């Protein structure tokens, strides 16, 4: 494949945009090489500026769960755009999407819209602090909750890829209120509660982690976190920016049967436009401004175009009774068949999967936390990534990321993908 125009565009972008990209993981720094510049996306496919085509396993890092440029979403967006782009006033549409979500996601009464997952998580922590009157919170190594200061304490994903776990610019004052524990290590959480009695406002967790690669909760981890929060008067925040409307319509709360006090959303909820949200029970959400004293606001929050894309995406999912079943089956086939191929080649690996989230780790043992993920053979992943890319398969450009399967990926795309992996050479 030729990447002439991508290369030229990257050189130019590099002059005007820090690192040539507007979000670090896009730069291919982890896997090496020049990032591919895309010009269009349709269904399961991306087309780059050199006219190469790829089967997309990132799907905009999750939002494009229906596949790209879904006709119903496109139509709805066009119609909405004709009525105006942004009003800065309340709209009926905002209540429509809020109602749909509140009625279908367990354990939430109210939802506040924002413009990114980062904003959602940042605001959820502020609300948890305001509600409990406590300052500290617990997060897990390798979980990513956006780039607001208090989360950039040994953050995963982008930061992990850059080997820069504590970002300069985050003050020690901020860092001291963020406690970190290993994912799936309940004893560390118990210790933190013991050592910080009466000071912990919340635990925030990715109920299925997606930002250190896909890592699943083990041994009733989520149930135990729920119990510890109850014992200690802390709130449990599920960061469902990735898992929300992806694992199930009700997200991880539905799949694992564990109740969260606050839930954050992003990605799928915006159908490809910039949206985030956070939600909870009345007794907590009533503390938010303008009703309550915890301040939170946004010029473009609830933007009509974003709400329309999100609402239409959620409706398409809701109207298809076997949506998740079919999507999960596709992912299961991928998992199983890739495993067979790699086994036949004698390549040690571990595939983690939950629903339509999966990662292939080149690791001999199970991957249950960030250290395990970091100990995988990332050089081999990078090689795998580039061989697949050169053959029209677009994986996330880092071994610390999750593959997102869309409904547009069908048998044809699966067989092509497996055919390419069949030719993978361990170099
Ligand atoms: C992507 C992500 C975020 C951040 O969302 P942005 O929209 O990129 O700010 C937060 N939490 C999780 C779990 C995510 O996957």
Q: Which of 162, 145, 209 is nearest to 183 (CA)?
A: 209
CA–centroid distance, residue 343 to ligand 1 (Å): 33
Please give the Cα distance from 8 to 24 (Å, whole number): 19
Q: What is the sign, positive or negative, of the torsion defined by CA atoms of 60, 62, 68, 71?
A: negative
CA distance 24 to 348: 29
pLDDT, residue 389, reads 97
144 alpha carbon – ligand 1 mean position (Å): 7
Cα(157) to ligand 1 centroid in Å equals 10
Backbone angles phi, psi at 383, to 5 degrees: -65, -45
Query: Contact 349/362 with Cβ under 8 angstroms?
Result: yes
SS (H, E, C) 227-273: HHHHHHCCEEEEECCCCECCCECCHHHHHHCCCCCEEEECHHHHECE
Residue with CA nearest ligand 1 atom 15: 242
208-266 pLDDT, tens digit each:
999 999 999 999 999 999 999 999 999 999 999 999 999 999 999 999 999 999 999 99
Catalytic residue, chosen from 29, 139, 154, 267, is: 267
Using CA atoms, how far residue 272 sits from 309, 324, 422, in Å, is 7, 19, 32
- Give the C-alpha separation, 195 to 202, whole Å: 15
- What is the model's pLDDT at position 159? 38
- pLDDT number for residue 154: 67
Instruction: Look up 177 and say whether it is catalytic.
Output: no
Take atom 8 of ligand 1 and give the residue whose Cα is closest.
117
Q: Is 244 in the pocket of ligand 1 (CB under 6 A)?
A: no
User: Can 340 be counted among the known catalytic residues?
Assistant: no
d(CA 243, CA 354): 10
Ligand 1 mean position, distance from CA 427 (Å): 34
Q: Is the CB of 372 under 6 A from ligand 1?
A: no
Any atom of ligand 1 within 6 Å of the Cβ of 356: no
β-bridge partners, 215: 209
Q: Which atom of ligand 1 is nearest to the CA of 274?
A: 7
- Residue 102 φ then ψ, to 5°: -60, -35
Q: Kindly state if the Cβ of 115 falls inside 6 Å of ligand 1.
A: no
Beta-sheet strand order (sheet of 350-354) = 350-354, 357-361, 403-404
Q: Is 239 in the pocket of ligand 1 (CB under 6 A)?
A: yes
For 193, phi then psi, to 5°, come to: -65, -40
Q: Active-site residue among 48, 56, 239, 261?
A: 239
Residue that has been written with the tokens 């044809």 in this structure:
412
Which bin fits 51, alpha (ψ -120 to 50), beta or left (φ > 0)? left
Please confirm, yes or no, whether 144 is among the known catalytic residues.
Answer: yes
Determine the distance separating the centroid of ligand 1 and the alpha carbon of 48, expressed in angstroms.
Answer: 25
Is 206 near ligand 1, meaning CB less than 6 Å away?
Answer: yes
Question: Ligand 1 in contact with 118 (CB < 6 A)?
Answer: yes
Residue pair 121/151 in contact by the 8 Å Cβ criterion: yes
- What is the position in ligand 1's atom list of the atom closest to the CA of 143? 13
Buried b (16+ CB within 10 A) or exposed e, 379-402: ebbbbbbbbbbebbbbbbbbbbbb
pLDDT given at position 162: 33
- Mutation probe of ligand 1 site: the residue of 113, 145, 246 with most atoms within 8 A of C-beta: 145
Threshold 0.85, pTM exceeds:
yes
Is the Cβ atom of 142 under 6 angstroms away from ligand 1? no
- Ligand 1 centre from 124 Cα, in Å? 13
Residues of the chain with pLDDT under 50: 155-165
- Please give the Cα distance from 315 to 310 (Å, whole number): 9
Q: Is 204 in the pocket of ligand 1 (CB under 6 A)?
A: no
**Integer Cα distance of 243 and 117 in angstroms:** 12
- In sequence order, what are the beta bridge partners of 48? 38
Report whether residue 271 contacts ligand 1, using a CB cutoff of 6 Å. no
């Amino acid at each position: 494949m030729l990447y002439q125009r991508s290369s030229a565009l990257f050189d130019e972008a590099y002059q005007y945009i820090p690192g040539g990209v507007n979000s670090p993981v896009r730069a291919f720094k982890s896997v090496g090489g020049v990032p591919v510049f895309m010009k269009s996306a349709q269904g399961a496919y991306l087309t780059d500026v050199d006219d190469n085509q790829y089967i997309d396993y990132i799907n905009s890092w999750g939002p494009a769960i229906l596949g790209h440029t879904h006709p119903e979403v496109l139509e709805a967006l066009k119609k909405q755009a004709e009525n105006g782009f942004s009003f800065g006033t309340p709209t009926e549409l905002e209540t429509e999407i809020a109602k749909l979500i509140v009625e279908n996601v367990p354990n939430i009464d109210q939802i506040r819209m924002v413009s990114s997952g980062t904003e959602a998580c940042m605001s959820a922590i502020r609300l948890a602090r305001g509600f409990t009157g406590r300052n500290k919170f617990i997060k897990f190594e390798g979980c990513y909750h956006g780039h607001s200061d208090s989360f950039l304490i040994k953050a995963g994903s982008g930061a992990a890829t850059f080997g820069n776990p504590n970002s300069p610019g985050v003050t020690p004052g901020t860092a001291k209120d963020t406690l970190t524990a290993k994912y799936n290590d309940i004893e560390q959480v118990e210790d933190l509660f013991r050592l910080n009695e009466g000071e912990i406002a919340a635990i925030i967790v990715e109920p299925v982690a997606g930002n250190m690669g896909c890592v699943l909760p083990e041994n009733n981890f989520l149930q135990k976190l729920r119990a510890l929060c109850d014992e200690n008067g802390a709130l449990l925040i599920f960061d469902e920016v990735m898992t929300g409307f992806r694992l199930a319509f009700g997200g991880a709360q539905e799949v694992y049967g564990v109740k969260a006090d606050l839930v954050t959303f992003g990605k799928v909820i915006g159908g490809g436009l910039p949206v985030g949200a956070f939600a909870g029970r009345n007794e907590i959400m009533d503390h938010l401004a303008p009703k309550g004293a915890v301040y939170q606001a946004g010029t473009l929050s609830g933007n009509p175009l974003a709400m329309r894309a999100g609402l239409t995406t959620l409706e398409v999912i809701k109207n298809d009774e076997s949506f998740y079943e079919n999507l999960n089956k596709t992912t299961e086939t991928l998992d199983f068949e890739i495993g067979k191929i790699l086994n036949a080649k004698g390549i040690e690996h571990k595939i983690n999967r939950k629903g339509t989230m999966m990662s292939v780790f080149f690791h001999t043992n199970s991957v249950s936390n960030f250290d395990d993920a970091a100990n995988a053979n990332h050089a081999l992943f990078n090689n795998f990534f580039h061989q697949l890319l050169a053959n029209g398969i677009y994986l996330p450009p880092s071994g610390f990321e999750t593959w997102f399967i869309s409904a547009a990926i069908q048998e044809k795309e699966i067989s092509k993908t497996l055919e390419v992996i069949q030719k993978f050479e361990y170099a």
